[in-house]
């Protein structure tokens, strides 16, 4: 499975592509950041993010896009920009028919480090180790994007099995004329 991880942000939108399957060594296919100037008009920044993500989709052809789920922070202005960049990433993938998965920051940290409260340095160190890199990707947004892709590769099989079980249970109830 090839996954494009997106750590959304208006100034720095981290992107990283990881390929592999759960339980086997993973391979980094690319990592970077789509940058926009902080003083540019919002619409122009969103278009720049769209163009950057479209280039990553063209170049790497992922099977899935994993985006960090936006959560409420104290700074509403920051969360709005993050949500807008997140929506652009989801739109780019959906327009191409590529499935989108959302993962919370604590879910990603727990998947990669074993602790949902890990700091950026711990995430970067584990991404470096898991992908057998010479040094942690910089800036942290790039490492976070790789962590999102890793998290999805590791968690997608379990989520798919759970979803199939729920669908089978619903079909069984429907065949007996009951609702679950």
pLDDT-wise least confident of 7-16, 48-57, 60-69, 70-79: 70-79
DSSP 70: P
Which residue, 53, 65, 33, is CA-closest to 144? Answer: 33
Q: pLDDT tens, 75-131?
A: 787 889 999 999 999 999 999 999 999 999 999 999 999 999 999 999 999 999 999
Check if the beta carbon of residue 82 is closer than 8 Å to that of residue 74: no
Catalytic residues: 7, 68, 141
Question: Do the annotations mark residue 7 as ligand-binding?
Answer: yes
Using one digit for the tens of pLDDT, what is the confidence trace for 14-55? 999 999 999 899 999 999 999 999 999 999 999 999 999 999
User: Is 141 annotated for ligand binding?
Assistant: yes
According to the model, what pLDDT value does residue 61 have? 98
Whole-angstrom Cα distance, residue 66 to residue 100?
A: 6
Instruction: Determine contact, residues 101/67, Cβ cutoff 8 Å.
Output: yes
| CATH topology (fold) of 2-175 | Nucleotidyltransferase; domain 5 (3.30.420)
Cα–Cα distances in Å, from 66 out to 4, 39, 80, 119?
A: 6, 28, 19, 20
Confidence of residue 152 (pLDDT cuts 50, 70, 90): very high
b (16+ CB within 10 A) / e for 146-160: bbbbbbbbbbbeeee
pLDDT value for 71 = 78
For residue 119, say whether it is annotated as part of any ligand binding site: no
Predicted pLDDT of residue 169:
81
Contact 129, 28 (CB under 8 A): no
Beta strands per DSSP E along the chain: 2-7, 12-19, 27-35, 64-68, 100-103
State the pLDDT confidence band at 158, using cuts at 50, 70 and 90: low
Give me the phi and psi of 59, to 5 degrees please: -75, -40
Q: Sheet of 2-7: strands edge to edge?
A: 27-35, 12-19, 2-7, 64-68, 100-103
Tell me the whole-structure pTM to 2 decimals: 0.88
pLDDT at 161 over 80: no
């Amino acid at each position: 499975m090839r996954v494009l991880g997106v750590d959304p942000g208006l100034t720095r939108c981290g992107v990283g592509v990881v390929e592999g399957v759960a339980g086997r060594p993973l391979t980094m296919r690319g990592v970077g950041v789509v940058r926009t100037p902080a003083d540019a008009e919002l619409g122009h920044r969103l278009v720049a993010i769209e163009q950057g993500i479209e280039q990553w989709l063209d170049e790497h052809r992922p099977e899935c896009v994993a985006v960090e789920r936006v959560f409420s922070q104290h700074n509403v202005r920051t969360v709005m920009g993050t949500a807008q960049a997140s929506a652009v990433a989801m739109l780019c993938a959906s327009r191409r028919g590529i499935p989108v998965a959302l993962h919370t920051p604590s879910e990603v940290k727990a998947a990669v480090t074993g602790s949902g409260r890990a700091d950026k340095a711990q995430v970067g160190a584990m991404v470096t180790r898991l992908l057998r890199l010479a040094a942690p990707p910089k800036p942290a947004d790039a490492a976070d994007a790789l962590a999102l892709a890793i998290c999805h590769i590791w968690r997608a099989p379990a989520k798919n099995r759970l979803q199939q079980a729920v669908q089978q249970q619903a079909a069984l109830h429907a065949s007996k004329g009951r609702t679950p």
